[in-house]
């Protein structure tokens, strides 16, 4: 098989998958999972190890932290978190952060 044809077919499959995700409304959920999986990369190991639960619902990032000190520090840096998450997603996926 010609390598150019194989490359073309792979690109077409990728486009089909992207269209399917959009059609079923799953493209946003995939981005949410990408952001959640990159939490340590975005915020560092210290924050990640103190994060017990993280999810996005209605454009709000919900964080459950096991350290009240860390929660207070992150509360002051809330805007930085919003910017990093949205930058990682490539669009405005969240507009607020709630701490539990």
Q: Which fold has domain 3-99?
A: GMP Synthetase; Chain A, domain 3 (3.30.300)
Angle CA 59–78–40, to nearest 5 = 80
In 15-79, which ranges are E strands? 51-57, 60-65
Distance (Å, rounded) from C-alpha 35 to C-alpha 60? 13
Distance (Å, rounded) from C-alpha 34 to C-alpha 13? 21
Query: pLDDT for 1-58, tens place per residue?
Result: 455 555 556 668 878 877 877 777 667 788 899 999 999 999 999 999 999 999 999 9
Distance (Å, rounded) from C-alpha 49 to C-alpha 92? 25
Spans of all domains in the chain: 3-99
> How far is the CA of 79 from the CAs of 53, 82, 83, in angstroms?
20, 5, 6
pTM: 0.76
């Amino acid at each position: 098989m010609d390598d150019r044809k194989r490359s073309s077919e792979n690109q077409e499959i990728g486009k089909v998958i992207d269209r399917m995700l959009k059609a079923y409304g799953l493209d946003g959920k995939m981005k949410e999972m990408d952001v959640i999986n990159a939490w340590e990369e975005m915020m560092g190991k210290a924050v990640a190890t103190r994060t017990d639960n993280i999810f996005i619902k209605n454009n709000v990032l919900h964080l459950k932290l096991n350290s009240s000190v860390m929660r207070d520090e992150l509360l002051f840096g809330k805007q930085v978190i919003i910017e990093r998450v949205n930058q990682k997603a490539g669009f405005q996926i969240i507009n607020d952060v709630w701490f539990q």
